[in-house]
Amino acid sequence: MGRRSLRFLLALIIFVLMGWGGFASAQQADGTFDEIQKMIKNLEGRVGGLGETVPPETLESLEKQVEEAVRLLGARGQENVLLRGKTSGLSSELDDMAAAREALSAKLSDVEADRDSKIAALETRVAETETALDEARAAGKEKERELNKQHRNLEAVLAELAALNKSLEASEKKNKANEQKIGKLDARLAEALAGKIEEMARYRSEFFGRLRRVLGDRRDISIVGDRFVFQSEVLFGSGEAVLAKGGQDGGGMAQLQQFARTLAEVAATIPSGIDWVLRVDGHTDRIPIHNEQFSSNWELSTARAVSVVKFLIDSGIPAQRLVAAGFGQFHPLDPRNDEIGYRRNRRIEFKLTQK
């Protein structure tokens, strides 16, 4: 092989080395590249010292060295491919780590923003709490002042109560003395009242006795307890409150006139110290009434009592000694729901009593 062939072989080796160096990373290729550079320099030196012709043994040596260099280049190429794969994986991991770092940075920003928001909210709550505490303290001071004022008022009230108690004790002593006097007066009043009642009962008894003798034994005029009773039929027409001139039997008004004369005679004998009245009570049956003049039994019974009172006044009985009252159907003498019961319940009652 000539010098030209050797130079071509060397150029090929250099080209391969340069291409391998372009694919390999600087850190991984430094050691191997330096080793091959040394071999190339060695070859160049040996080729430069050769003449026009190269001995066969020299070519064989060179070829072996070239084959070794190519073998090394192939091994280094495989290593370069592996390193490139690892580099690509590391680059992907770096990208993932960068993305994770960005995500963590975003989360950190969110956490910091949330932290700042919570801190602001807490600061607001703290400020509100402090304001509320200040208000509570002010209210507490105001309540304390109010309590002190009430305490002073209570002391004044207690002092006033003490004074009142003393006054009450004095009044109680005075009242006991007065009670004793009142007791004596009550006893005397009760004694006098009992005497008056007894006296009034005596006049009432006398009045009833005279009425019995004057009016005789009539079925439509009777005495029930302490009351003298006229049946309404002897004085009034059905549903009317104007005194009938003759009554159903012609004797009702005559009997009422005799009643008035007897009352006047007895009243003339009653002492002025007895404050007596004659109460005239009107009663009806339970049958409802409703006409142009009266809308209820209340009005009918009251109107009848007033008519009798007016008659007695015209007969000489003092008006201040007379009372008119209407009871309607609510105080029956007979509970039966028949004409006999209704007739007994339609009545005018006279009661001589005290005010």
Rounded to whole angstroms, how far apart are CA atoms 211 and 344? 20
In terms of Cα–Cα distance, which of 33, 22, 29 is closest to 69? Answer: 33
Q: Write the CB contacts of 343 (distance below 8 Å, at least 6 apart in sequence).
A: 231, 233, 285
Q: What is the pLDDT of residues 121-145, one digit of tens each?
A: 888 988 988 898 888 889 888 888 8
* CA 276 to mean position of chain CA atoms: 60
Predicted local confidence at residue 192, as pLDDT: 52
Rounded to whole angstroms, how far apart are CA atoms 345 and 232? 9
Report the relative pairing of strands 322-326 and 276-283 from DSSP bridges: parallel
Q: What is the pLDDT of residues 272-302, one digit of tens each?
A: 778 889 999 999 999 998 888 899 999 999 9
Q: Assign 243 to helix, strand or coil.
A: strand
Rounded to whole angstroms, how far apart are CA atoms 50 and 48? 5
Half-sphere exposure of 315 (CA within 13 A, CB side): 23
Half-sphere exposure of 87 (CA within 13 A, CB side): 12
The tokens for 194 are 């009992």
Predicted local confidence at residue 75, as pLDDT: 78
Place of tokens 């006229």: 230
* Backbone φ and ψ of 278, nearest 5°: -105, 115
Rounded to whole angstroms, how far apart are CA atoms 302 and 294? 10
Q: Assign 222 to helix, strand or coil.
A: strand
In terms of Cα–Cα distance, which of 316, 330, 325 is closest to 353? Answer: 325
Cβ–Cβ under 8 Å, residues 239 and 294: yes
With 0.75 as the threshold, say if the pTM is over it: no
Rounded to whole angstroms, how far apart are CA atoms 238 and 232? 9
Given a cut of 70, the residues of the chain with pLDDT beneath it are 1-33, 35-37, 39-40, 43-55, 59, 62, 66, 69-70, 73, 187-205, 207-220, 246-251
- State the angle between helix axes of 252-269 and 297-314 in degrees (0 to 180), rounded to the nearest 10: 60
